[in-house]
Amino acid sequence: MKQMHGIAASPGIAIGTVFLYQDDTPQVPQYSLAEEAVEEEIRRLQDAVQRAEADIRQIQQENNSRLEKDEQAILDAHLMMLQDPTLFESVHRKLQEDLLNVEWVVHQTVKELMEKLMASGDPYLKERTTDLRDVSKRVLSHLLAHTRVGLESLQEEIILVTHDLMPSDAVTMEKSKVMAIAMDAGGKTSHTAILARSFEIPAVLGLGTVTRMLSGGEVLIVDGNHGVVILDPDDQTLSEYRTMQDEWHEHENQLMRLKNLPAETSDGKLIYLNGNIEVPEEVVSIHSHGADGIGLYRSEFLFLGTHSLPDENEQYGAYRRVLESMQGRPVTIRTLDVGGDKLSTHIDHRDEKNPILGWRAIRMCLSEVDLFKTQLRALLRSSVHGRLQIMFPMISGIPELSRALDLLEEARQELRDREVPFARDIPVGIMIEVPSAALTADALARKVDFFSIGTNDLIQYTLAVDRGNERVAYLYEPFHPGLLKLIRMIIESGHREGIPVAMCGEMAGDPLATVVLLGLGLDQFSMGAVGIPEVKRIIRSASMAEAEELVGSIMEMRTAAEINTAVQGYMKKRFGLDA
C-alpha cells in the first residue's frame, strides 16, 4: 500500500480499478532536407493542419447533443490555435533556416513555446500548455500517419490514471464510466479540473509520478476531498474508505437538500452565499450548488494564455453570457487583476524585482488607461443583461479609488456619446486586500457601494508571508489575531456607512471559519461553488448569539495556535467538523 498527496481538484471519494492512459505520441524522427524539399514539407504541414481541424469538427458534430458549453469552448479554442498563423509562421521560418523535416520542426517549435509558458511563473499559462500539447499531438499524428487512441469507447467503470489528460480526450471520454481521475500534472484551474468539477467526478491532480507506480488493473482509492490517492490499499483501508464513501454520499445528499433554502441562522440573520468563477463555463456549478449569485468573477482569465488582448466586443460577449446565465442574480466582476503571480503575455511585466508588491491589478490598470477603459466600457455595456456589480482590486487608498471612479465615469460618457445603452445604477465596490485599505476602510466606505475582503492577499501582506513559499507557509495563518482584528475593523467600517461587506478569499469557503466570520459580522461569503452547501449547513445550524460569543472569546487570545485549537475544538464538537 502506498499513499500519495496531490491537489484536491474535484471533491468526492472513488474506489475502483486503474485504467492507465499512456501518452501514445510516437517518436518524432529527425533528418535533413534538401532546400528544394521545403515547399513539399510546408504542403504536408498544411494538409496535417486541415486534417486536425476536420478531426475536431467531426468530434463536435458527432457529440453535439451531449457536449456542454465548457467542452464546446475547449474544442473551439483548439480550432482557433490551428487557425492562428503565428505558430505556423515560426515553423515555416525554421524549416527554411534549419532544413530539417517538418515533424521535427513542429515538435521543437512547440517544445520551445511550452518551455516559455512554463517559465512564465503564471499558473494559468502553465496549464494552457496542455492545450498546445493537445493540438500539436493531433497535427503530429497526421504527419506521422499515427492513429490516436481515445477514451470514448470505455465499456467498464474505471479510475482514469494519466500523466496529463488532453482536453480533447476529456471532452470525448465516456464520462459515465470514469469514476475518478488521478493525474501527474494539472492544477485547480486546468481544463481537466474544471470539467471534473462540472461532471462531479472526483479528481486528484499534480501527483507528479503516479503513472510510474502503476501498470493498469490495480485497485486505487481517489480521495478528492483531501487530495489523496492510495495505491493497492489493504483490506482495513478499503473497509475504512468504503465507509467514508458511503458517509460522503449521504452527506452530499443531505447538503443538496438545502440547495433552495436560504442561508439563514437559527435566530433569523440572512447571509448571502455566492460563488467564485474564473471562466463562464463554471456558471453551471454555481446553479447546481444553490449559490445566491457570483461574488467574484476573475475577469483576468480572459487576458491570460490568449494570442491577443480581448477587445471590447469579446469582453462584452463573455460578461453578457455570464450575466444572462445567472437569470437576474447578482454578478460581481472584478476588473483586470494581472501582475504578481498572474502574468499576461501581452503586457510588459519586465523588471519586476518584487512582482507581488509591484505593478499589478489596479496599479497597472491606472497606467494602461486604454486597456482599462476598454474593459470598463465592455462591463457597462453588459450591465443591461443582468445585475452587474463592478469591483476594483488591490485598492490601497483614496487616490487610487478616486482615479478609478473617474475613469469609470469617462467610460460612461464615451458610451453616451456612442448612444450605447447601459444600466444607470451599477453598484461599484472594492476588494480590501491591502492593510492600508483595511486601516482606512472608514474613508473608503464613503465612496463605494460594497466591500469584498480578499483574504488570500490580505493575509500575506499583513503577515509578510509569501503564500507560495513553502519555507514560510507555516506562518500563513487565517486565524492570526492581527488579521481577525483587521477583518473586524473592515466590517465595522462598512456597516457604519451602511454598505454590505463580503469575503471572496479562500477563508470564506473554509467551513472551520464560518462561525468566526458570522460572529465578526460578515454579510456575504463567496467561494468555490462546491463549498457552498457545507457552509450553508453550518450557517443554518448556528445562531448569531453563539457566533458572537465564540468571537468574543477568541479575540482575547494572543496567538494563532491558541485560536486554531479553540475554533477546531468548537467546530468539531458543535458541527462534527475535522480540521
Q: 242 near 23, Cβ under 8 Å?
A: no
In this structure, are 198 and 77 located in the same domain?
no
Within this chain, do residues 104 and 156 fall inside the same structural domain, yes or no? Answer: no
Sign of torsion over alpha carbons 397, 399, 403, 405: positive
Residues 462, 367 share a domain: yes
Q: Distance between CA atoms of 238 and 72, rounded to whole angstroms? A: 38
Residue 344: pLDDT over 50: no
Q: Which residues contact 157 (CB under 8 A, 6 or more apart)?
A: 16, 17, 177, 178, 179
The per-residue pLDDT for 321 is: 93
Lookup result for grid cell 480590501: 432
pLDDT confidence tier of residue 341, bands split at 50, 70 and 90: very low
Residue 346: pLDDT band with limits 50, 70, 90? very low
Residue 247 within any structural domain of the chain: no
d(CA 354, CA 352): 5
Asked if residue 120 has pLDDT above 70, the reply is no
Is 245 among the domain residues? no
pLDDT given at position 391: 98
Does some domain include residue 244?
Answer: no
- Look up residue 504 and give its amino acid: C
Report for 109-113, 309-313, 437-441: range of highest mean pLDDT: 437-441
Pick 371 or 21 by higher pLDDT: 371
Predicted local confidence at residue 554, as pLDDT? 97
Tell me the three cell numbers of residue 325. 446565465
Give CA–CA dist 401/386, Å, rounded. 25
Phi, psi (deg, nearest 5) at residue 428: -120, 130
Q: Is the dihedral of CA 4, 152, 74, 92 positive or negative?
A: positive
Residue where a domain stops, chosen among 238, 269, 304: 238
pLDDT at 380 over 90: yes
**Considering the domain boundaries, does residue 554 fall inside one?**
yes
Residues 567, 512 within the same domain: yes
Catalytic residues: 191, 504
Single out the residue in 238, 253, 279 at which a domain terminates: 238
Q: How many domains does the chain have?
A: 3
Lowest mean pLDDT among 204-213, 317-326, 412-421: 204-213
173 and 134, same structural domain?
Answer: no
Single-letter residue type at 104: W
Rounded Cα–Cα distance for residues 37 and 95 (Å)? 10
In this structure, is residue 254 part of a structural domain? no
Instruction: Indicate if 312 and 392 belong to the same structural domain.
Output: yes
pLDDT of residue 67: 61
Residue with cell 489493504: 234
**Averaged pLDDT, 282-308:** 83
Report the amino acid identity of residue 424: R
Q: For residue 426, is it within any domain?
A: yes
415 contacts 466 by C-beta, under 8 angstroms? no
Phi (first) and psi of residue 452, to 5 degrees: -135, 120
pLDDT in tens, 242-294: 999 999 888 888 888 998 999 999 999 999 999 998 778 788 889 989 999 99
State whether 192 and 229 are in the same domain.
yes
Per-residue confidence (pLDDT) for residue 343, from 0 to 100: 44
What beta strand segments (E) does 336-479 contain? Answer: 387-392, 428-432, 450-453
Give the CATH number of the domain where residue 178 resides: 3.50.30.10
The answer on 14 and 68 residing in a single domain is no
Domain match, 309 and 175 both: no
What pLDDT band is residue 551 in, cutting at 50, 70 and 90?
very high
CA 28-33-39 angle, 5° bins = 100
Q: For residue 414, give the CATH number of its domain.
A: 3.20.20.60
Residue 123, pLDDT score: 59
Angstrom distance (rounded) from CA 445 to CA 287? 31
| Residue 29 within any structural domain of the chain | no
Per-residue pLDDT at 167: 62
Q: Is residue 30 part of a domain?
A: no
What pLDDT is recorded for position 149? 59
Average pLDDT over residues 493-498: 98
Domain residues for 419? 261-575
Q: Are residues 50 and 173 in the same domain?
A: no
- Whether residues 319 and 438 share a domain: the answer is yes
261: cell is 433554502
Q: How confident is the model at residue 186 (pLDDT cuts 50, 70, 90)?
A: confident
The last residue of one of the domains, among 207, 238, 269, is 238
* One domain for residues 157 and 96: no
What is the C-alpha to C-alpha distance for residues 56 and 357, in angstroms, rounded to an integer? 43
Q: What is residue 26's predicted lDDT score, i.e. its pLDDT?
A: 61
- CATH number at 77 reads 1.10.274.10
